Amino acid sequence: MDTPSNRRSYVRTITSYVRALLKFFKAALLLLSQRYRSANLRFKIAFFTVILLTSTSFILCIMTVQIMNNYILNEIIKRGESVGKSIAASAGYSLLSRDLLGLDTLVHKATSSNSDMPYVVIVDPNMKAIVHSEVPLIGETMVLPQGRLIRKTQDGTTVTELPDEDGTIFKISCPIVFMNKFLGSVILGMNRSVLIEAQKKVTTRILVVFGIIVALGMLASSLLASFLIKPIRELSAGVEELKKGTAKTPLRIYSHDELGALTRNFNEMSAQIAEQRGKLNKYAQDLENAYVSIVKVMAAAIDARDSYTHGHSARVAQLSLLMGKNIGLSKDELAELEVACLFHDVGKIKTPDSILLKPGNLSPAEYKEMMQHVEYGASILSWAPSLVKYIPSTRHHHEWHNGKGYPDGLVGDKIPLFAAIIAISDTFDAITTDRPYRKALSREEALAEITRMSGIQFRPELVNIFIELMEKHRAHGVPLSVLKAV
């Protein structure tokens, strides 16, 4: 029944429900914030869908229950008014004729046919009970507590809400008017028993429907999340393959919507990247080959200054690669070692011919200038960023294992590995090649000299590997000239 008091009650109920809903959302947001960073996308989609569905269903449930309560209450009051007016219409003549039996019959029929009607009383204008459903109260003056007026009609019927020990009682008072004369009133009570029973049934049914909706919503959200996650996972895997350069087959397109269009565009982009990557790899390989060729030409040009050392850098590279393969260097490391060997004497470009080509022994000053070639080489390589990585092997290939080498006096493992390898190969090739100031040593003499300098000039474990390699090749009958040209 749409009255100001009912509207206020409705607002209070909605407010309490909204507060409860806000608390629920607060707890849900707290949970979400805690799991947000670690949660996957499927959880987020399902969570938000369930939250939205639950909150919507919860609000609809509250509104439905409230509307049903108002409707049932209105029907109860209407039924009470109808019974009261029916008794009032029949009681006028009986009051004038003092037919108490007829009045009692009307009251008895009303109470017996309405279980939610605790009392019915007919009073005179002075509120004295003429007939009462509770016989001991007949003749008593009715004094009812004041309550909240719900409504009053034009014929004088009033509906008042009264407090009661068992709940709320609605007092309905209908005037008895016969031939335009006021003879008294019919007063009856209606309790909320029917309303409460109806509320229980409606609430139970709504909760069942609410549970079904939430369960279906969770299932639907899970299916929706799966539908959305599949193409996203496919794209994620495709991106990982693209990063690693292992993408070979196009991604599967699951739908023709925006995600499908995104997957299709990704496939096209991936194909273009793969094509461009192939071209870049070819260009890089060609560039690397050209770069190595230029280095070899440069090394040959350096060696060509001295007819006795012609091909020295290439031979050092071949011997060093044999050692590098034996100690387990990777393909890329072997390629870097080869270029390092070709560059190891690049600093001799700045060494005067008078010193480089001198047939006799060098003076101390000349020897000191000759030692500068490692620093000259490091300085030359420093001008090109791509060649900086070859500086350590160029600068330190004349360091000694015991720290008495040059230019920095490095000791043991502090000498770079490539420099330590080049030192052995460089020495072996130098002492097995004719020079203006001496004849070449034999392989056996050279190996004996390198063995003697193990732990002094050379790293012992590398000397052992080098000696083993030389012995192995001698056992197979490989001449020294062929070995140095492998």
Q: Which of 59, 62, 35 is nearest to 48 (CA)?
A: 35
Q: Which of 390, 393, 370 is nearest to 382 (CA)?
A: 390
Report whether 422 contacts 320 (CB < 8 A): yes
Q: Kindly state the percentage of the chain with pLDDT values over 70.
A: 79
Report whether 339 contacts 314 (CB < 8 A): no
What is the pLDDT averaged over residues 363-374? Answer: 90
pLDDT of residue 2: 47
pLDDT of residue 38: 52
What is the pLDDT averaged over residues 253-277? Answer: 75
Q: What order do you get walking across the sheet with 167-178 strand by strand? A: 129-132, 120-123, 181-191, 167-178, 158-164, 148-152
Task: Say what the pTM is.
Answer: 0.47
pLDDT of 319 > 80? The answer is: yes
Neighbours of 279 (CB within 10 A): 10
pLDDT of residue 247: 65
Which tops the pLDDT comparison, 13 or 134?
Answer: 134
* 409: region left, alpha or beta (phi > 0 left; psi from -120 to 50 alpha): left
* 403: region left, alpha or beta (phi > 0 left; psi from -120 to 50 alpha): left
**Bond from prior residue into 407 cis (ω within 30 degrees of 0):** yes
Q: What pLDDT digit, counting tens, does each position of 69-108 carry?
A: 788 778 888 888 899 899 888 888 888 888 888 888 888 8
pLDDT of residue 235: 74
Residue-by-residue DSSP string for 416-437? -HHHHHHHHHHHHHHHTS-BTT
What is the pLDDT averaged over residues 237-252? Answer: 72
* Domains of the chain, each with CATH number or no CATH: 4-213 (3.30.450.20), 304-483 (1.10.3210.10)
Report whether 418 contacts 392 (CB < 8 A): yes
pLDDT of 172 > 60? The answer is: yes
pLDDT of residue 46: 67
DSSP letter at 412? Answer: G
pLDDT of residue 482: 44
Which tops the pLDDT comparison, 189 or 2?
Answer: 189
Which tops the pLDDT comparison, 483 or 330?
Answer: 330
pLDDT of 308 > 60? The answer is: no
